Amino acid sequence: MSKKRELFRLTSAEALPDMRLRLSYADDAQFVVDLTDWISTTKMLKPLRNKGLFATAKLGSFGRTVEFGEGGIDLAGDNLRNLAVEQAGGTGHERILNWMHDNSLTIDQAADVLGISRRMLIYYRGGEKAIPRHIWLACVGWETLSQHGKAA
């Protein structure tokens, strides 16, 4: 199995008090993620306000999801990991994806803008490597300049 696939394959999921999950991934990474905001702002997740239902958290199909109850609600492991990284003060891989999409940038264009190799950008975008703070700040800076017609 590829390293990327291992990043997002869950090996355990445990419900904790206060709408939190303890998650372990196949690459040995472990996180505690707080779902309070997601549950309070997402209509489809409203049933998870019920502590009994939330407590039923378990691994879903092939370790790709966390399921609740009879599987009527599930959350993707990659999205949970992204949220956990963000909550821990890091920059989640989805930011690069969204930045590229919002600015209609190809991989080659985005790598050029950031002054990094195409391969490194693919690592960041796929979550295989942590996004350094200076790379995310470069994304934000470039987007700001671009909006004012000053990006090169």
Q: How far is CA 147 from the centre of its chain?
A: 26
Q: CA–CA separation, 7 vs 84, rounded Å?
A: 13
Distances (CA, A) of 106 to 10, 90, 99: 30, 24, 11
- What pLDDT is stored for residue 13 in this prediction? 97
Q: What is the DSSP letter of 132?
A: P
Q: Does domain 93-147 have CATH number 1.10.260.40?
A: yes
Mean pLDDT of 40-57: 96
- What pLDDT is stored for residue 1 in this prediction? 46
- State the span(s) of the chain assigned CATH 3.30.2020.10: 3-87
* Contact present, 58 and 67 (Cβ < 8 Å): yes
Minimum mean pLDDT range among 6-10, 30-34, 46-50, 87-91? 6-10
- What pLDDT is stored for residue 4 in this prediction? 54
Mean pLDDT of 108-119: 96
pLDDT higher than threshold 90 for residue 152: no
- State the span(s) of the chain assigned CATH 1.10.260.40: 93-147
Kindly report the CATH class assigned to 3-87. Answer: alpha beta
**Over the stretch 86-106, which tens digit does the pLDDT of each residue have?**
999 999 999 999 999 999 999
Q: CA–CA separation, 35 vs 31, rounded Å?
A: 12
